[in-house]
Amino acid sequence: MSLTFYWYPKCGTCKKAKKWLDEKSVPYNIVHIVEETPSEAELLTLIQTSELPARKFFNTSGKKYRELNMKEKLQDASEQEMVKWLASDGMLIKRPIVTDGTQVTVGFKEEQFDEVWND
């Protein structure tokens, strides 16, 4: 099982997740979420596969999120609008996102990684 690991190298949470994957010897392909921001289609697939609402994919603690007043915009936004915003700027996306094509995790919680990615 090889994972796709969407991350931002300066993100502390991403570093913790990467360290966890490395320590468990879990193979992964790394994708820089800002330099290679997922397309609308890729994001839609991730959202649908995760079964989480699109709003859970927003980096609510990020500077960009606050600058663009996303909290207000998200209240009445459709999933399609949310996906368009996420695809427009990788800094808006909560990270890391890890997927094997069948499962998706957003963010890093060690218990969740132990459960989902520790074969």
Q: How many CA atoms lie within 13 A of 49 on its CB side?
A: 16
Report how many domains make up the chain: 1
- The pLDDT of residue 34: 96
Query: Per-residue pLDDT for 119 more than 90?
Result: no
How many Å apart are CA 55 and CA 35, to the nearest integer?
A: 22
> What would the mean pLDDT of 96-105 be, rounded to a whole number?
97
Q: What is the mean pLDDT of residues 36-43?
A: 98
Instruction: For residue 17, give both structure tokens.
Output: 């997740």
Which residue range(s) make up the domain with 46?
Answer: 3-117
pLDDT digits (tens, 9 = 90+) for 63-95: 999 999 999 999 999 999 999 999 999 999 999
pLDDT tens column, 8-39: 999 999 999 999 999 999 999 999 999 999 99
> What are the Cα distances from residue 115, in Å, to 43, 45, 50?
23, 22, 15
Domain of 99, CATH number, reads 3.40.30.10
